[in-house]
Amino acid sequence: MSIKWQDWEFEYKHKSPDWFWALWIIAIGVSVFSVIKEGYLFAILILIMAFTASLQGVRKPKFIDFEIDETGVIIDKAKYPYKNLESFWIKDSQLVIETKNHLMSHLIISLKETDEQEVEKILSEHLPKEEKEEPIFNKMAKYL
């Protein structure tokens, strides 16, 4: 048994020029303050983070394939076998899968155009359903 669908990689929100101005004014201000306090490494880190946020802000999402089958979860070309996954839950038309990978601890997949009951049925055969809050980092990323 498997289910396949396509959706956008992430929800795109247009960033106005004011967003970029605010980002860089804050980043430069924090970096200057950090240099004054002799926190050179922190200043560099803040500028790298601002640069990365700027790149992400203009990036448009791709339309990608999703699949859940007997072996695991497939997102575009990346395969996540069930043995590498901890649990799942569905909230607000989003599938959140907790992984055993500490660097990427959660996979968040849109289920807007998908039968949530079917997804839950397939995943329940392989993973426990554990209701949890969305990770704070993901909430911050959506906000920014």
| CATH assignment of the domain containing 67 | 2.30.29
In this structure, the answer to whether residues 24 and 88 fall within a common structural domain is no
Residue 60, SS3 per DSSP: coil
In this structure, the answer to whether residues 72 and 112 fall within a common structural domain is yes
In this structure, the answer to whether residues 86 and 137 fall within a common structural domain is yes
- Quote the percentage of the chain above a pLDDT of 70: 91
Q: What distance, in Å, lies between the first and last C-alpha atoms of the chain?
A: 38
In this structure, the answer to whether residues 66 and 51 fall within a common structural domain is no
Render pLDDT for 60-93 as a digit per residue (tens, 0 to 9).
888 899 999 999 999 998 999 999 999 999 888 8
Q: pLDDT value at position 134?
A: 65
* Surface-to-core class of residue 96, CB atoms within 10 Å of its CB (0-12 exposed, 13-18 middle, 19+ buried): buried
In this structure, the answer to whether residues 74 and 24 fall within a common structural domain is no
Mean pLDDT over all residues of the chain? 88
> Which of 13 and 75 is assigned the larger pLDDT?
75
pLDDT exceeds cutoff 90 at 43:
yes
In this structure, the answer to whether residues 49 and 103 fall within a common structural domain is no
* Per-position b or e across 13-29, b if 16+ CB within 10 A of its CB: eeeeeeeeeebeeebee
DSSP state of 105: -
Mean pLDDT, residues 41-56 taken together: 96
* Phi–psi pair at 94, nearest 5 degrees: -130, 135
Q: Which domain holds residue 34?
A: 17-58
Rounded to an integer, what distance in angstroms lies between the CA atom of residue 26 and that of residue 84?
39
In this structure, the answer to whether residues 86 and 139 fall within a common structural domain is yes
Rounded to an integer, what distance in angstroms lies between the CA atom of residue 84 and that of residue 97?
10
In this structure, the answer to whether residues 138 and 70 fall within a common structural domain is yes
In this structure, the answer to whether residues 81 and 67 fall within a common structural domain is yes
Q: How many residues does this entry show for the chain?
A: 144
In this structure, the answer to whether residues 96 and 122 fall within a common structural domain is yes
In this structure, the answer to whether residues 132 and 88 fall within a common structural domain is yes
Total number of domains in the chain: 2
